[in-house]
Amino acid sequence: QVVLVESGGGPVQAGESLRLSCAASGGTFSNYVMGWFRQAPGKEREIVAAIGLRGGRGNTYEGDSVKDRFTISRDNFKNTVYLEMNSLKPEDSAVYYCAAGDSGWGPWISDSGSFRFWGQGTQVTVSS
């Protein structure tokens, strides 16, 4: 059982930056693909970014709406995955969830169903 705890959310102004962190425990962190999803009121949960077992070039994915603004990274020694969010927009406001999956890296990583463990979420609110 992997337990995920997100932190770093909060209220910000448009154009500002935030860094979300997700600390994992209870499993071998480096065995899991990690992802960040978000869900705004009245909308479906959507992929924000994902990172493979070791990260690095070619092993990360960012959704179209956040590409070039958000960056995902991981530290397998600290059992932590990060989401660096820059140039935030009001439409980025949502609850952000960290997730861990053991289905490997492939086109399915944009599907929330490929992730088995989920954090409780952290609220990000961007005001204009």
Tens digit of pLDDT for each residue in 8-22?
999 999 999 999 999
Mean pLDDT of 54-70: 90
The yes-or-no verdict on residue 33 having pLDDT over 80 is: yes
Whole-number Cα distances in Å, 40 to 16, 59, 88, 123, 126:
19, 27, 15, 10, 12
Measured CA to CA, the distance from residue 10 to residue 85 in angstroms comes to 12
Tokens of 92: 């980025």
Mean pLDDT of 62-88: 96
Q: Which residue has the tokens 């954090």?
A: 119
Tokens of 71: 């960056």
Give the pLDDT confidence score for residue 54 in this predicted structure: 83
Tokens of 120: 């409780």
Tens digit of pLDDT for each residue in 109-125?
999 999 999 999 999 99
The yes-or-no verdict on residue 34 having pLDDT over 80 is: yes
What rounded mean pLDDT belongs to the chain? 95
